[in-house]
Structure 1
Amino acid sequence: MANESWGRRIARWVLMACYAVAGVGHLVLTDAMVRIVPPMVPFARAVVIVTGLCELAGVIALSTSRWRRAAGWALAAYALCVWPANMYHAVLDLSSGTGLPLAYHAPRLLLQPLIIWWALWASGAADRWLGRQAPPRQP
């Protein structure tokens, strides 16, 4: 977008990089990811693969002016929906004493609202909430 600030552009590209790494991680480290899926989630392997593909689709959509805002909403919703799985992962690791430490899980869980806001702000999806006119989409 022509009138987009450098800060927002950089925030969007960093967000895209984070989601790209996460998406590839879901596809490459599928077995490890399956182990931390809550038992109530059916077809855990398929869910891990599909969520990785969704993250990568979000990255592609964020890179376009046409789909950017929709991607922001989708990635914010995604971050909200995986929050319970992140909590389950923390409980699993901390209760067994064999997983990742609290130093990993606490920031991850506490930063989840920031990640949600980041997706909304970096994509321009939150502009209307902030009373800003969203820039027109470019073809």
Structure 2
Amino acid sequence: MKTTLFQKIMRIVLGGMMVLAGIGHLTFQREEFQAQVPRWLPSSPEFMDFVVVASGVVEIALGLAMIFLWKHQVKVGIVLALFYVLIFPGNISQYTNGIDAFGLDTDQKRLIRLFFQPVLIFWALWSTGALKHLMNKSKN
């Protein structure tokens, strides 16, 4: 799917953000990301750490795919959007359980953050041409 120069730039920016977030999962923000592991999952420290590390590896892979797999950008955009949907329960859990992390130290801040997940989903789909692809596919 052909995309504009601006979409390409935004795809690469989002890919870079994903790589940085993934590195944070594995290193300096590991404890912060544990705050987003949904509380309905097993809460042993080992399991929570596994979830954070595994999601970090996935984020790095998706970020690199966004940057370098431009021939498959529609598929990568769809997979990244699905990833954002899958991790959204962690953001909801952080809000509903009042867990402080990433400077989200009030219910208002945690609630506002929830509204950014659809922005990320849209960004992944739009910047890769997946949104246009899916809209064209639904017309047929």
Match in the other structure for 1:136: none
Match in the other structure for 1:15: 14
Which structure has more relative contact order (CA 8 Å, sep 6+)? It is 2
User: Is the 8 Å Cα contact of residues 74 and 133 (structure 2) preserved in structure 1?
Assistant: no
Equivalent positions of 1:1-139 (< 5 A) are: 4-28=3-27, 29-42=29-42, 43-63=47-67, 64-93=69-98, 100-131=105-136
Partners of 1:22 and 1:66 in 2: CA distance: 24
With over 3 angstroms needed to count, the CA separation of the structure-2 counterparts of 1:35 and 1:109, relative to structure 1, is closer
For structure 1, the 5+ residue unaligned runs are 133-139
TM-score between the two structures when normalised by the length of structure 2 = 0.78
> What's the C-alpha RMSD, in Å, of the aligned pairs?
2.5
More helix by share: 2
Partners of 1:35 and 1:15 in 2: CA distance: 23
Number of residue pairs matched by the alignment: 129
User: Is the 8 Å Cα contact of residues 19 and 55 (structure 1) preserved in structure 2?
Assistant: yes
Partners of 2:20 and 2:26 in 1: CA distance: 10
With over 3 angstroms needed to count, the CA separation of the structure-2 counterparts of 1:13 and 1:104, relative to structure 1, is farther
Identity across matched positions, percent: 28
Partners of 1:126 and 1:45 in 2: CA distance: 34
| Structure 1 segments (4+ residues) deviating >3 Å | none
Which string of whole-angstrom CA distances, capped at 9 and with x for unpartnered residues, describes residues 80-137 of structure 1?
A: 1111110111222369xxx6224532332012112111111111222223339xxxxx
For structure 2, the 5+ residue unaligned runs are none
